[in-house]
Structure 1
Amino acid sequence: MTTPPDAANWRAANRANWDERVPIHVAGPFYDLPSFIAGEDTLRDFELAEVGDVSGKTLLHLQCHIGLDTLSWSRRGASVTGLDFSAPAVDVASDLATQIGATTACFITADVYDAINALDAQTFDIVYSGFGALCWLPDIARWAQTAAALVAPGGFLYLAEFHPFADVLAEDGQTVENDYFERDPIVVDAPGTYADPGAPTTATLTVEWRHGIGDVVSALTAAGLRLEFLHEHNRGHFRLPAGLGVPQVYSLRAAKAG
C-alpha cells in the first residue's frame, strides 16, 4: 500500500481540524450546550441499558471531544476521566465540568495511542468509546491493545460506534457510494464540520480510515478481552434517517478476566 502524501501527517492534520471545530461546536445548535448545562443527557437509551449502573465506578472515555458524553456518565454516578488529543476541546470539557459541578470528573490532553503513559498506567472499571472515534485511527489493533491495557481486571470496554456498513451509503440510505473493504487512508479536503457544514474553516484536510466490525472484534479478542455481546441498531446515525432497514450503529462490550 502506498500512503498518499496528504496522509503522512495525518495526526497533525486531524488535530488542526478538530481544534478548529471546537468553537463551532460550542456555539452551534448541534451540541446545544445550554440544554446540556441545564441537565440534558447525551447518551442513547441502549448505551445506558448495555453499560448498566455506573454508580461508584471509574470510567475512562477515550477521544472524548468536548466531554458531553463523559459528563453524562458523571451525572449518573461514575468517576470519569476524559482523554482527547485536542487541547481546546479538553479546555471546554474541563470548564463544563466546573459549570455543572462534576467534582469527580477530570480531562487530559493526550493522543489515544499515548493514553497508557498519559494516565500513568491507571486502569478503569469501564473504558468507553463513543460515536465517530475509530475512523480517526489508522491502527485498530494498537487501539485495542491500548484500550485493553486500561481496563481493570473484572472490568470491561464498551464501544458504541457508527456502523461501517452505514458509512458506505449515501445520505439517501440506499445508494452504495463507498467500498466497505477499503482500508487505505481516506483523505478529505472540505470546509465545515458535521455539526455545521457551512461553517468557514481553514484546516480543511482530514484523514480517516474504515474499520470493519470483524476487524474491531478480532482486534479486541487478540488484545485479551472476551466479547460479551455485539448488537446492531437500525437508528442513530447522524446523517441517515431512522427506519431504513440497515444497521446504522453498533455496540459491543468486551470484558477482562478478574
Structure 2
Amino acid sequence: MYSPTPSDWREANRKRWDERVPLHLASDYYDLEAFRSGKDPLRDFELAEVGDVTGRSLLHLQCHIGLDTLSWCRHGASRVVGLDFSEPAVDAARDLAAELGLTADQASFVAADVYDAADAVPDTSYDIVYTGVGALCWLPDIQRWAETVAALVAPGGFLYLAEFHPLADILDDETGSRIEYDYFARDAWIEETPGGYADTTTPTVHNRKVEWQHPVGEVITALASAGLRVDFLHEHDTTLFERFGSLELRDGAYQFPVDRPRIPLMYSLKASRAVA
C-alpha cells in the first residue's frame, strides 16, 4: 500500500536484506558454484552497452553480494569497488573476492549507505559508476542519488544504469495486462512479504519492506540536473524473473507470449561527465 515514508525505512530494509544474504548465498538463483567456475552473471546488453572496461576503475553502488562487481573485474577493470548498506552482504562479497585470489587493490567492498558513498569509498572518482537492476526502488530521493553519482564520476567517465522499468510496477501481478497502480505515485510502497525472489520457501522474520517508484522521466531529469549528459536510454522487452504469471522463459530471459503486444520491462542508460 502507498503510505508516507516511515522514519525507520532504512533500518527495516537493511534488516530484510541482512536476513536474506545467507539465503541468497545458498540459492540456485545466484548459483555461486557456477560463478566460481567462471559463469558470467552480467547481461549481454550490459556488456555491449558498457563496452570494454579494460584498465578502467569501476564503482558498483548497491552491489549486494558482489557477483556483478567481481564480474567487471573478470572483464578487465583495473580496480572495482562495491558498496552496499548490508554488512553481511559486504562480508560475503569480500570472501568471494578472496576466493578468486583478488587483492584489495583489485577488488574492495565498503559497507555504507548509498547516499554516503562519496565519503565512504576509497577513491574520489571512478571511470565508471555502475548500478545494477533492482536498486533504485529502495531509495526515496532520486535527486540526491543522482547528485551522489555525479560527484563520483570522473571527468570523461560515465554512469551506467540497468533497471527494471517502472511501467511494470503499475500492472497486475497475474497477467501484466491491467493497470492497477499509479505510475506517478510518490509515496512509499510498504509491504509485508516473506521470502523473496531467490528463495520463496524458507521462512523469514524480517519481511517488511519500504520501496519507491521512480518514473523514467524523473531519473533522466535528476541526472541531467546533476550535471551529467544522457548519452542513451534503451528500453528492453525482457526481464530477469517471472514478474507476471503470463511471462515465458525464452532465450534465457522472461518475455510476454509472442502473440501479445510488448511493453518495456527493463531499461538501461548511460550518462557521461564532460572532460574537464
The normalised TM-score by structure 2 is 0.90
- SS of equivalent residue, structure 2 residue 166: coil
Alpha-carbon shift at residue 198 of structure 1 (Å): 2.3
Counterpart residue number, 1:246: 263
Counterpart residue number, 1:11: 10
Q: Which one-letter code corresponds to 2:177 in the other structure?
A: Q
Alpha-carbon shift at residue 237 of structure 1 (Å): 3.8
Structure 2, unaligned runs of 5 or more? 248-253, 257-261
Alpha-carbon shift at residue 171 of structure 1 (Å): 4.0
Q: Distance in 2 between matches of 1:225 and 1:177?
A: 34
> Superposition pairs for residues 140-179 of structure 1, below 5 Å?
140-169=142-171, 170-179=173-182
Counterpart residue number, 1:71: 70
**Any conservation in 2 of the 1:65–1:84 contact (CA below 8 Å)?**
yes
Counterpart residue number, 2:216: 213
**Any conservation in 2 of the 1:74–1:102 contact (CA below 8 Å)?**
no
1:114 aligns with 2:116: yes
1:20 aligns with 2:37: no
Counterpart residue number, 2:259: none
Structure 1, unaligned runs of 5 or more? none
Cα deviation 1:163-205 (Å, max 9, x = unaligned): 0001222242223232211110110112111111222111111
Q: Distance in 2 between matches of 1:121 and 1:53?
A: 21
**Any conservation in 1 of the 2:239–2:255 contact (CA below 8 Å)?**
no
**Any conservation in 1 of the 2:3–2:189 contact (CA below 8 Å)?**
no
Q: Distance in 1 between matches of 2:118 and 2:208?
A: 28
**Any conservation in 2 of the 1:71–1:102 contact (CA below 8 Å)?**
no
Alpha-carbon shift at residue 238 of structure 1 (Å): 1.8
Counterpart residue number, 2:93: 93
Cα deviation 1:95-119 (Å, max 9, x = unaligned): 1111122331110000000001112
Q: Distance in 2 between matches of 1:37 and 1:165?
A: 35
Alpha-carbon shift at residue 82 of structure 1 (Å): 0.1
What is the aligned length?
256
**Any conservation in 1 of the 2:86–2:111 contact (CA below 8 Å)?**
yes
How has the CA–CA distance of structure 1 residues 237 and 247 changed in structure 2, closer, same or farther, with 3 Å as cutoff?
Answer: farther
How has the CA–CA distance of structure 1 residues 171 and 52 changed in structure 2, closer, same or farther, with 3 Å as cutoff?
Answer: farther
Aligned mate of 1:130, from 125, 129, 132: 132
Counterpart residue number, 1:56: 55
Alpha-carbon shift at residue 4 of structure 1 (Å): 3.9
**Any conservation in 2 of the 1:59–1:125 contact (CA below 8 Å)?**
yes
Q: Distance in 2 between matches of 1:95 and 1:238?
A: 27
Q: Distance in 1 between matches of 2:186 and 2:110?
A: 30
Q: Which one-letter code corresponds to 2:238 in the other structure?
A: R
Cα deviation 1:20-74 (Å, max 9, x = unaligned): 0100000111111110111000111010010000000000000000001001101
Counterpart residue number, 1:229: 232
Alpha-carbon shift at residue 239 of structure 1 (Å): 2.4
The normalised TM-score by structure 1 is 0.96
How has the CA–CA distance of structure 1 residues 102 and 177 changed in structure 2, closer, same or farther, with 3 Å as cutoff?
Answer: farther
Q: Distance in 2 between matches of 1:196 and 1:172?
A: 22
1:256 aligns with 2:255: no
How has the CA–CA distance of structure 1 residues 120 and 41 changed in structure 2, closer, same or farther, with 3 Å as cutoff?
Answer: closer
**Any conservation in 2 of the 1:156–1:256 contact (CA below 8 Å)?**
yes
Cα deviation 1:205-235 (Å, max 9, x = unaligned): 1100000000000000000000000000000
Q: Distance in 2 between matches of 1:246 and 1:56?
A: 37
Q: Distance in 2 between matches of 1:115 and 1:155?
A: 17
Q: Distance in 2 between matches of 1:185 and 1:20?
A: 22
1:34 aligns with 2:51: no
Q: Distance in 2 between matches of 1:61 and 1:171?
A: 33
**Any conservation in 2 of the 1:75–1:102 contact (CA below 8 Å)?**
no
- SS of equivalent residue, structure 1 residue 165: helix
Fraction of identical pairs, as percent: 60
Q: Which one-letter code corresponds to 1:86 in the other structure?
A: S
Q: Which one-letter code corresponds to 1:134 in the other structure?
A: L
